[in-house]
Chains A and B, each alone.
Chain A
Amino acid sequence: MLYRYLLTRLGEALLSLWGAMTIVFIAARMLGDPVIMMLPMGASPADIELMRKTLRLDDPLIIQYLQFMWNAVRGDFGMSFQFHRPAMDLVLERLPATILLAVSALIIGIVVGGFLGFVAARWRGTMLAPIATVLALLGQATPVFWLGIILILAFSTSLGWLPSGGTGSLSHLILPSITLATFTAASVMRLLRSSMIEVVSEDFIRTAWSKGLMPRAVYVRHVMRNALLPVVTMVGILAGELLGGAVITETVFAWPGIGRLVMQGIETKDFAVVQAAAAAIAAIYIFVNFAVDLLYMLIDPRIRLSRTGRA
């Protein structure tokens, strides 16, 4: 039954989330000692001990874990050591910026990658196909760091058309999303192209040709709709990755997103921030994949029928 399927998936999602949070809790504590990062150089061992006691970092690990979990289910992820504010507040503050960047990059990536992939498959054998493929290869091979700086030098410093970084307006979004979208577009292009080529050789496509359908009808109505299935899965994975925070793009463009927050948290051993961000990112990832699964059910009748157990 559909109902039972959804419930099972929800249970799995919560289990994954708990597992991710536990792993991050342990990993964060293996990072090192946050107290010596906080205090100025030359602080006495007595000062260090006092700070450690005040922050309850000298409690046994299992007590700290249980305290963390007990608070986390009620939304309290603790206070950040460096910002002295609730860690989840910080994460939620930065999340919109990351979501905006991720969604923009995803849209650009899907549109450009989809277009190039379609062209490469549809006009396979002509000049267009290798051009599209080379473009995709370039996109996948170009280091994000280098591309970002080149774009800044060209469009900000030399031409002055776009701002070099930060947020505030639509023009601030253009360069970072293009930079981030190159890899997305390349992945989508290559997958769509190979998926389409595979579908084109299927029996039902030959049936469509023999029915006398125009090429457009064949390619768009029949080939694309079937070829899109693996691409949808990949987009789900890409969305999760992008939402997890593209640290390099955020650093190069001074974009105030989650990626940089987590990096800073790791450098300063700010356990609360690392844990809160990991929980948020894991939750988003799980949710996006869940949504992709549902989408799959919608667009592919075979899956809907098999999952819900109806003939």
Chain B
Amino acid sequence: MFHSRFLKAAAAGVAFSLAAGAALAEDMTFALSANVVTLDPHLTTTVGTDLSVISHIYTPLVIRQPDMKIYPAAAKSWEVTDGLTWTFHLRDDLTFPDGSKLDAAAVKWNIERILNPETKSPVRAWLTTIKEIKVVDPVTVQFVTDKPFASLPDQMSQIFIMSPAWTQSHNPAIEASGTGPYDLVSYVSGDSVTLKAKAGHVDGAPSFDNVGFRVIPEDSSRIAALLAGEVDLIAGIPPFELERINGTEGVSASSVSSIRMVYVKFNNLKPPFAGNTKLKLALNYAIDKEALRDAIWDGQGELSRCQPLNPAYFGYNPDLAPFPYDPEKAKSLLAEAGFAEGLTLEFEVPMGRYLLASEMAQAIAAQWAEIGVNTNIVEMEYGRWLDKYQNAGQMGDLSYIGQSWPTLTADGMLGLLEPGNIYAYYDNEEFGNLIREARSLTDNDQRLALYKKATESFCASPAHLVLFDQPTTYALRDRIKWQARADDIFRAMDISVAK
């Protein structure tokens, strides 16, 4: 009698704890708008797909969290000495599934693999200032650069560490094994990636037990999948869909200003822009940016404040304001610039790359036409446009472009406009000198002061039509909450189950 009651109670106890354990195992599924091309962290720079998946499996030295700040990851702390030597102090408790440790030797091997031209790593260009890597002891690694590289830690946030031994005997393009919170369960190229939480990870169990990524390239299909309950989080949907999604039960949509800024570049190295600051200003005053943003992007996205930086970037100058919409001033500046009777410009627009670029370009052209600046819009395929702009140095008078710098530094972003680079098309020597000086320093306060002056110099003679931040639109099911990120990275670690 007592026996069976005890057994029943014991059985009930076991059943309850099993049920409780099962109830805590949550799953979530992302929908990606493009294919996950490779799982090898050194062979990709695509943040929204490849690196997002990779960040679940592997660990970088440092990590960028949703607040866009750098935090420790595989490294506990780091410092720079004499401007050229960076020392990273590593954790000693990260072990790969094959038993090897994530130590200084492993870090050195990884960076050397990237720097080896035979690896064909697209990331190599970011690390070429590293001249020497020293293993001081198993938990201390040093990078010696040939020039001051103040954003080395930011760059390391996108370099993920693999096990040297494992990589020799496996194909990292389609297999993955790392120190991150998730293990790879399956990778079907073009279709999906499935991850499972590691049992007994040193940092504890993540919020989700199974994480899936489904590739759904077509916007409407992605939205349909969300509404049907097949996926939990989608991004990159047209802004005009947000309202419809918000009106549906069980899902909500919003947007966050991304780190990508959109503008219309002027070719400042040729007439009519070369040396003609008044023309550049006239074109900036002629555009009603708020109206454009509200009409075409449904009010999503922040206006850029007279600089190619936004608050997420180190070096952002909060004291500048966007150019106001003043067509009268634009007309008079245009006359002072010597074009009272108007002018005609070529306007190159890449297809299929930036959000509603075609519509935006046409609206901008219409507003410029009102002050007498006529444009011939030439839409071209992205590869061809990129070749013209970056490779051959043959950009047209005007070019619609969206740019960001993944390490969120003014050095990188403003460096895109540094006179001398073939893709800068900018003739402001004062600007160039200021950023070169800032690059040679490592004291952040000094650098900020220089960037303040550089952005002011930019604002006085802008390299392009300053527009806005491109919004990252996203939608999610009510069962989850996401700390939306501006940098296009999608991680289950930033998501929690809504209570």
Contacts and interface: CB of A to CB of B under 8 A. Distances in A.
Do chains A and B stick together as partners?
Answer: yes
A45 B230 contact: no
A134 interface: no
A149 B416 contact: no
Interface in B368-424: 381-384, 386-387, 390-391, 403, 405-406, 412, 415-416, 421-423
A31 B383 contact: yes
Contacts of B192: 166
Nearest to B120: A54
A75 interface: no
B218 to A, nearest CB: 5
Nearest to A90: B189
B221 A149 contact: yes
Contacts of B118: 54
Interface string B423-435: 1000000000000
B387 A149 contact: no
A149 B190 contact: no
B121 to A, nearest CB: 9
Interface in A189-246: none
Contacts of B271: none
Nearest to B190: A256
Contacts of A311: none
Nearest to B192: A166
A41 B117 contact: no
A163 B128 CA distance: 47
A84 B122 contact: no
Contacts of A160: 228-229
Interface in A18-52: 31-33, 36-45, 47-48, 50-51
Contact of A48 (B45, B173, B391): B391
Given A32-B387, A36-B391, A163-B230, A41 B416 contact: yes
Contact of B227 (A149, A157, A166): A157
A32 B125 contact: no
Interface string B291-310: 00000000000000000000
A122 interface: no
B190 A164 contact: no
Interface residues of B, number: 53
Nearest to A160: B228
Contacts of A84: 38, 40, 43, 120, 173
A255 to B, nearest CB: 8
Given A82-B38, A90-B189, A253 B221 contact: yes
A94 interface: yes
A267 interface: yes
A259 B377 CA distance: 31
Contact of B189 (A37, A39, A48, A83): A83
A185 interface: no
A37 B221 contact: no
Q: Which of A149, A254, A257 has the most CB of B within 10 A?
A: A254
A32 B244 CA distance: 39
Interface string A249-273: 0011110110011001001110000
B191 A33 contact: no
B212 to A, nearest CB: 10
Contacts of B381: 32
A84 B189 CA distance: 13
A252 B221 contact: yes
Interface of B: 35, 37-38, 40, 43, 45, 117-118, 120, 122-126, 128, 171, 173-174, 188-192, 214-218, 220-221, 224-225, 227-230, 381-384, 386-387, 390-391, 403, 405-406, 412, 415-416, 421-423
Given A32-B383, A36-B387, A267-B382, 7 more contacts: A36-B391, A41-B416, A42-B405, A43-B125, A153-B224, A166-B192, A254-B221
19 contacts: A32-B381, A36-B383, A36-B391, A40-B123, A40-B126, A41-B416, A44-B125, A51-B120, A82-B37, A83-B173, A84-B38, A94-B190, A149-B220, A164-B230, A166-B214, A254-B218, A260-B190, A268-B383, A269-B383
Interface of A: 31-33, 36-45, 47-48, 50-51, 54-55, 82-85, 90, 93-94, 149, 152-153, 156-157, 160, 163-167, 251-254, 256-257, 260-261, 264, 267-269
6 closest pairs, A vs B, by CB? A256-B190, A32-B383, A256-B191, A47-B125, A254-B216, A43-B125
